[in-house]
Amino acid sequence: MNNARFFKSVLTLSLAFIILVFPTRTAFSNTDNSADTTETYALTVTVWVENSGAEPARDISLNIPTMAQINSPYQKVLSRIYSIEPISETITTRGNKKARLQVKRLAAGEKFPIKQTYIIKLIPFSLSKKKEEINQSTGKQLQNYLQQEEKIESDSDKIRQVANALNGDSKPKTTSETLTFAKAAYDYTRDSLQYNLNASSADKGALAGLREGEGTCVEYASLFVALNRAAGIPARIVNGFAHYSKVLADTSSSSRLEKQRHQWAEFYLPGQGWIPVDPTLGTATNSRFGSLSAGYYIIQNYGDLPISGSYKGGKLNISFDYSIEIDNVPSTL
C-alpha cells in the first residue's frame, strides 16, 4: 500500500512570495511612461517547504511553477539559476513552465527554501513607438486565448452584451478595428470597476466584478480579457509584480500596489504582437494602455498555476512571504 501524501497549493495573487529584485541601476522616472531606458534585474523567487509534523518527511516530490517562456515584448529572460536542479521541466501550450524537484528528507520542524533566480531584461514598451522586434504568435497558439475559462466568462450573456455594445454587434476584422475595440474595453473596465480588496467579488473574476462593480486587479484584468475574447480578439492574463507602482497611480488611490503581486493583461494586435494594458492602475492622466515603463512590471507567468507534489511521513506546509529591495545585481547568485 502506497502511503505517500499528496497536496496541491494554488498560486494566486493573494499568496506571497519572497521576491528580491536587484536592478543594475535606479534610473526611474516618476512621470515618463516610455523612457528609452532598459533595465537588467536579478529576480529571486523563494518557496518555503516546512515539515510541521512530529516525524521526518521523506521522498518529497514537488512540481513548482517557474518563470514562463516569455513572449511579451517588454521582458526577456537572460539566464536562470535554481538552488535545486530540476529533474525535469514541462512547458504548457501557453508557455508556462513547471519544474519537478525532489527533496530526500526534511526533519520534524525543518523549514527548507527553494530558490529561483532569474536575470531578466525589462524593456520600455510603447505602442506609439516603432519596435525593433515583433512578438508574433501562430493561429493555433492564439486559439488558446479565445476560449472561456475560470474567471474569464467570455461566453456569458452579460459579458457578450457589453462586448456587443462596445463594437456595435460586429466583431473587429482589421488591425485598426481591433485596436479601437481594445481601447474601448480598457476604458469600460477602468470606468466600471472600483478597486476594493474587501469586495465580495474579490479574486472571483470578470463576471463577479462586472456584477458588483468592484474588485481587485484580478477583476480588472479578467474583465478586460473576457470582453476581448467575447469580441474574437485573443487576450490573456499576466501574473507578476508591479515594482514601485505607487508612481503609476494617484497617491490617494486605494489601488497602490507597492510591494505586492499584481495582475494585468495583454491583447493580440495583428502585425504588432502582444500589447500590454493595466486597467487597474490606469488613470485619466497616466494611461496604462499599450505603454509600460521598464522596471515597473515583471512577468512571472500567464495565469495562476498550482504547486503540487507528494511525500511520505511528516506534515508538509508550503508558505510564502515576500519583500522587494533595490540594490546592485549580486556578483554571485
Q: Closest Cα partner for 23 from 237, 276, 241, 239? A: 241
Measure the N-to-C terminal CA separation of the chain; round to a whole number of Å: 42
What is the percentage of the chain residues whose pLDDT exceeds 90? 48
Matching residue, cell 456569458: 156
Q: Closest Cα partner for 125 from 274, 332, 290, 248? A: 290
- Reported as a pLDDT band with limits 50, 70 and 90, residue 245 is very low
| Predicted TM-score (pTM) of this structure | 0.82
pLDDT at site 287: 82
pLDDT at site 40: 77
- Domains annotated for the chain, with CATH where assigned, are 5-123+304-319 (2.60.40), 137-290 (3.10.620.30)
- Reported as a pLDDT band with limits 50, 70 and 90, residue 206 is very high
Average predicted confidence (pLDDT) for the chain: 80
pLDDT at site 258: 52
pLDDT reading at 226 higher than 90: yes
Mean pLDDT of 180-196: 95
Mean pLDDT of 263-268: 95
Q: C-alpha grid cell for residue 281? A: 492602475
Question: What are 269's strand-pairing partners?
Answer: 273
Q: What is the pLDDT of residues 21-68, one digit of tens each?
A: 444 433 323 333 444 566 777 778 889 999 999 999 999 999 999 999
User: 250-284 burial by CB neighbour count: b if 16+ within 10 A, else e?
Assistant: eeeeebbbebbbbbbbbbbbeebbbbbbbbbbbee
| Helices and strands (H, E) in the chain, number of each type | 5, 18
